[in-house]
Amino acid sequence: MLLSALISALNGAITKILSDDLSALEIVFFRNMIGVVLILWTLRIKPPKLGGGKIHMLFLRGFLGFVAMILFFYTITTIPLGEAITLNKTSPLFVSLLAYYLLHEHLSKRSIFALLIGFCGIIFITKPFGMSISYEHLLGVLGGFFAAAAYATIKRIKDMYDSRVIVLSFVVIGSIFPALLFSISPYINAPASLKFLFPEFILPNNLNVWLLIGFMAFISTLSQWLLTKAYSTSKASIIGVVSYTNIPFAIGFGYLLGDAFPDFLTLCGIGLIVFGGVLVTKIK
CA distance 171 to 33: 7
- Domain coordinates of the chain in residue numbers? 2-283
CA distance 122 to 125: 5
Residue partners of 247: CB distance under 8 A and separation at least 6:
82, 85, 86, 89, 270, 274
CA distance 267 to 122: 11
Average pLDDT, the chain: 84
CA distance 85 to 72: 8
State whether residue 82 is helix, strand or coil. helix
Q: In Å, how far from its chain's centre is CA 115?
A: 20
| Percent of the residues in the chain that have a pLDDT greater than 70, as a whole number | 89
CB-CB contact of 164 with 39 (8 Å): yes
* Residue 216 burial (CB count, 10 A): 23
pLDDT tens by residue, 109-150: 777 787 788 778 877 776 655 445 678 888 988 998 898 888
Closest C-alpha among 70, 23, 88 to residue 274: 88
- This model's pTM is above 0.85: no
Greater pLDDT, 94 or 202: 202
Reported confidence tier of residue 158, pLDDT bands at 50, 70, 90: confident
Predicted confidence at residue 127, as pLDDT, reads 65
